[in-house]
Structure 1
Amino acid sequence: MNSDDSLPPPIRDPLPEPAAPKAPAGYEHLLAQFAHDYLRDRRSERRWKLFFRLLWLALIVFAAWAFWAQSHHIASPSTPHTALVEVHGEIDADTEASAELMLSALKSAFEDPGAQAIVLRINSPGGSPVQAGIVYDEIRRLKAKHGKKVYAVVEEMCASGAYYIAAAADEIYVDKASIVGSIGVLMDGFGFTGLMDKLGVERRLLTAGENKGMLDPFTPLQPKQRAYAQQMLDQIHQQFIATVREGRGKRLKETPEMFSGLFWNGEQAVALGLADHFGNLDFVAREVVKAEDVIDYTPRENVAERLAKRFGAAIGEGAVKALRSLAPLR
């Protein structure tokens, strides 16, 4: 038996545990700073969300108030006054001088028992014959219904469709230098066919109906189509002339140029019977209507409406989102 077999195995020290990696110097400070900045950004984000939600809510409340105030801006019954309705700028469906806005103002003015008469203060180059015709017809209807006088006061210009409206007034007042008239109708556009030929550009227009592409600027105007358009313009012109004759009656001193589209200054207009007298709004209110207090019935575009036009559908979309998100923040 070998003596070495009776000896116990040698005792060895256990291997040391691997040391945990040490954090780089300042690591704890960076982590704390990151957490602090993150929480700060989250709080700032929440505050901004709350701010914009409250802003949208305030805008909605303001728009509702402005709409209410505009529709109730005149108390009725009111004291005796001259009712003013402005006809300013281009007469068209999407302008401040649209038939929709003017009819609303005219109706309010005629229905107010305090309004002694209505004054149309006009400064317009004209516009749509349809819009002007609607206003003309409504003025005559309201005059017959309420028995109130209507006076037109021209400032800088009363031309074309604006004069169409003025013809409905009982009397027309002008300044000596006002521009009055332009009793005519036009249809304008451009033709690019010669330029296209020079550039070698071909117009490929497909239509169902031989006149469907009529007045297309890239297609030559056919004599038959030109004659048709001219006939239509002549017919509208005759409607305009009939309206002026109906409104002005025997006061007109017709000349061959009167309905040619020419315009005149105020002094000439009075001589031709296109206008009656010289005077401004204050003069008419004080000396003719005998009610110096003037109340403006013209609808005014408020701040909310201007914002809506500028930003379009984004305003409505943002408002809806704001209303949906008015729940408490988490």
Structure 2
Amino acid sequence: MKRFFRRLLPASMRSDGTVIPVVRLQGTIMAGGGQLRQSLSLASVAGVLEKAFSFKDAPAVAIAINSPGGSPVQSRLIYQRIRDLAEDKNKRVIVFVEDVAASGGYMIALAGDEIVADPSSIVGSIGVVSASFGFTEMMRKIGVERRVHTAGANKAVLDPFQPEKEEDVERLKALQLEVHQTFIDLVKDRRGDRLDGSPDLFTGLFWTGKRGLQLGLVDRLGDIRGTLRERYGKKTRLRLVSPPRSLFSRRLGVFGIRGDDGLGDVGAGLLRAAEDRALWARFGL
């Protein structure tokens, strides 16, 4: 009789089997957001992470990552929030790499006590990149003159409408090296002796999950359902934790526009979407 009444309860209220909360982190990583794009930032994921780690009886939190990278600052902030919650709530973190966890996406993956990847997923790209366009020739051809007035000799460095200066590029490279070293230190701190010492690890190269296992970037190959049921039993249930969506957001979503961005400049949104597409395309996605 007791078993009969238990079957009538919603799955969330049953006591049989272990419940593992699952958070999906997908998109490019950047502060704020934009139209026509799916992005990650601390502000956009903090609430859902808090909710996932609040599952009192869950021994672990599963995080599925699918990101080509983006802002190093937001990547580290998300990483740090996951680690802080794991320590505060005494939860194990298991990260699952889907199509790609590269660059900033891999930085977030480092928050896992264990990283599990599909054999064909993409991991790595431990480096820093800056990209822009130069429009000086185009402006000359169409007869447009650029006028910039600054207080401070370096206020307009790397202006895309002015010729590139060697000293500005060197200054940018120095900054990149500092950010890169922070990334390298984090990888070494989190992966430790699991890294195989390959000289290519920190050059920005990326690899399949299968090769990433050999390099020590991931701990095992597998999928989320199979891995968690093997670890916590066949009755293990996965509970997807998602952020709430407003009615306004859902309606705008029909038209391919994120509701939390309002109705701003669609042209700018299309340009940002093209930048996102370029990030994913680097990994053949």
So what's the TM-score if we normalise by structure 1? 0.67
CA RMSD of aligned residues (A): 2.4
Go from structure 1 to structure 2 and tell me whether the alpha carbon gap of 1:236 and 1:141 turns closer, same or farther (over 3 Å shift). Answer: same
The 10-residue stretch of structure 1 (283-292 or 139-148) with the greater mean CA deviation from structure 2:
283-292
SS, match of residue 115 in structure 1: coil
Quote the Cα distance in structure 2 between the aligned partners of 1:300 and 1:129: 26
* Higher helix fraction (1 or 2): 1
The 10-residue stretch of structure 1 (262-271 or 123-132) with the greater mean CA deviation from structure 2:
123-132
The 10-residue stretch of structure 1 (280-289 or 92-101) with the greater mean CA deviation from structure 2:
92-101
Quote the Cα distance in structure 2 between the aligned partners of 1:307 and 1:235: 43
Residue 190 (structure 1) shift:
0.7
Q: Which amino acid aligns with 1:292?
A: T
Please name the residue that 1:160 is paired with.
103
The correspondence for 2:223, drawn from 256, 276, 280, is: 280
The 10-residue stretch of structure 1 (93-102 or 264-273) with the greater mean CA deviation from structure 2:
93-102
Q: Which amino acid aligns with 1:152?
A: V
Please name the residue that 2:3 is paired with.
none
Q: Which amino acid aligns with 2:161?
A: F
SS, match of residue 151 in structure 2: coil
Quote the Cα distance in structure 1 between the aligned partners of 2:85 and 2:263: 37
Residues 119, 222 of structure 2: 8 Å contact kept: no
Quote the Cα distance in structure 2 between the aligned partners of 1:218 and 1:307: 39
Please name the residue that 1:312 is paired with.
262
Larger radius of gyration: 1
Go from structure 1 to structure 2 and tell me whether the alpha carbon gap of 1:86 and 1:78 turns closer, same or farther (over 3 Å shift). Answer: farther
Go from structure 1 to structure 2 and tell me whether the alpha carbon gap of 1:109 and 1:194 turns closer, same or farther (over 3 Å shift). Answer: same
Please name the residue that 1:235 is paired with.
178
The correspondence for 2:42, drawn from 51, 74, 99, is: 99
Q: Which amino acid aligns with 2:106?
A: Y
Residue 235 (structure 1) shift:
0.5
Please name the residue that 1:186 is paired with.
129
Residue 257 (structure 1) shift:
1.1
Please name the residue that 2:20 is paired with.
82
Residues 102, 298 of structure 1: 8 Å contact kept: no
Go from structure 1 to structure 2 and tell me whether the alpha carbon gap of 1:292 and 1:255 turns closer, same or farther (over 3 Å shift). Answer: same
Alignment of 1:61-210 (within 5 A): 80-93=18-31, 94=33, 95-210=38-153
Equivalent pairs: percent with the same residue?
A: 39
SS, match of residue 143 in structure 1: helix
Residue 116 (structure 1) shift:
2.2
Q: Unpaired segments of 5 or more residues in structure 2?
A: 1-10, 253-257, 265-285
Alignment of 1:243-322 (within 5 A): 243-290=186-233, 292-307=236-251, 309=258, 312=262
SS, match of residue 295 in structure 1: strand
Q: How many residues align?
A: 241
Q: Unpaired segments of 5 or more residues in structure 1?
A: 1-73, 315-330
Go from structure 1 to structure 2 and tell me whether the alpha carbon gap of 1:78 and 1:210 turns closer, same or farther (over 3 Å shift). Answer: farther
Residue 200 (structure 1) shift:
4.1
With a CA cutoff of 8 Å and minimum separation of 6, indicate the structure with the bigger relative contact order. 2
Deviations 1:253-281 (A, max 9, x none): 12121111110011100000001111111
Residue 129 (structure 1) shift:
1.0
Residue 221 (structure 1) shift:
2.0
So what's the TM-score if we normalise by structure 2? 0.77
Quote the Cα distance in structure 2 between the aligned partners of 1:77 and 1:141: 29
The correspondence for 1:215, drawn from 158, 183, 189, is: 158
SS, match of residue 126 in structure 1: coil
SS, match of residue 206 in structure 1: coil
